[in-house]
């Protein structure tokens, strides 16, 4: 059994996790100024507007940085695994935390192009990232 934790969505984050469950990566976006932000929040951090929508994005991004867990600090997670920060290509103001999957860990580089993939976790699915198809 997968002992890794599942997200427990709240009122603000529910649309994000519901879209992910349906295999779509969305970004909370301000209806007024168009800024995207992560994690989702009650107000737009740029213009303070409270009218916020969730918009689907391409799911392509770039690895901003990554770290490899080679020893376990949480027994639910099998090592080694890569924890990463990914900047979204079509919403560069948005940086997500994620895992880089589907690649040998020593092939991961800062700046590599990655694309979203979804991983079942309890009743939900997590956005994860793998090397983009056709990317060098």
Partner 1 sequence: MTSLSRPVAIVGVGYSELSRRSRPDPRALTLTACRTALADAGLAPRDVDAIVQFTHASDSTEAPITAYVQRALGIDNLSFFADLARTGPSGVGPPMTAVMAVASGVCETALAYRTLPQAEGNNGGLRESPAEIGGPTQFTAVYGHAAGILANYALKKRRRMHEFGHTAQEYGYIAINARRWAALNERAVMRQPLTMDDYLSARTIVDPLVLLDCDYPVNGSCAVLVTTAERARDLRHRPVLVDAMSWGTGRGSDFVFGADLLYGGSIPCAENLWRQSRFTPADLDVLGLYDGFTHLPISWIEALGICGFGEFADWVDGGRVIGPGGTLPLNTSGGMLAEGRIQGIGHVAETTEQLRGSCGARQVSGASVAVVAGGGSNDSGAMTLYVE
- Contacting residues toward partner 1, per CB under 8 A: 3-10, 13, 38-39, 45, 64-77, 81, 83, 85, 95-99, 110-111, 121-122, 126
Distance linking the first and last C-alpha atoms of the chain: 35
Smallest separation (angstroms) from partner 1 to the CB of 97: 5
Q: Find, among 32, 22, 110, the residue nearest to 59 by Cα.
A: 22
Query: Is the omega angle on the peptide bond into residue 80 within 30 degrees of 0, that is, cis?
Result: yes
20 or 134: whose CB is closer to partner 1? 20
Smallest separation (angstroms) from partner 1 to the CB of 16: 9
39 or 134: whose CB is closer to partner 1? 39
Quickly count: other Cβ atoms within 10 Å of residue 48's Cβ: 10
4 or 31: whose CB is closer to partner 1? 4
Distance of alpha carbon 20 from its chain centroid, rounded? 9
């Amino acid at each position: 059994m997968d002992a890794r934790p599942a997200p427990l969505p709240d009122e603000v984050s529910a649309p994000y996790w519901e879209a992910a469950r349906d295999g779509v990566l969305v970004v909370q976006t301000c209806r007024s100024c168009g800024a995207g932000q992560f994690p989702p929040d009650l107000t737009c951090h740029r213009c303070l507007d409270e009218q916020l929508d969730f918009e689907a994005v391409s799911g392509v991004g770039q690895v901003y940085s990554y770290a490899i867990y080679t020893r376990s600090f949480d027994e639910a997670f099998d090592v080694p695994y890569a924890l990463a920060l990914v900047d979204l290509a079509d919403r560069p103001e948005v940086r997500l935390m994620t895992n880089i999957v589907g690649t040998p860990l020593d092939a991961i580089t800062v700046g590599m192009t990655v694309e979203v993939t979804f991983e079942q976790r309890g009743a939900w699915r997590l956005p994860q990232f793998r090397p983009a198809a056709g990317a060098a």
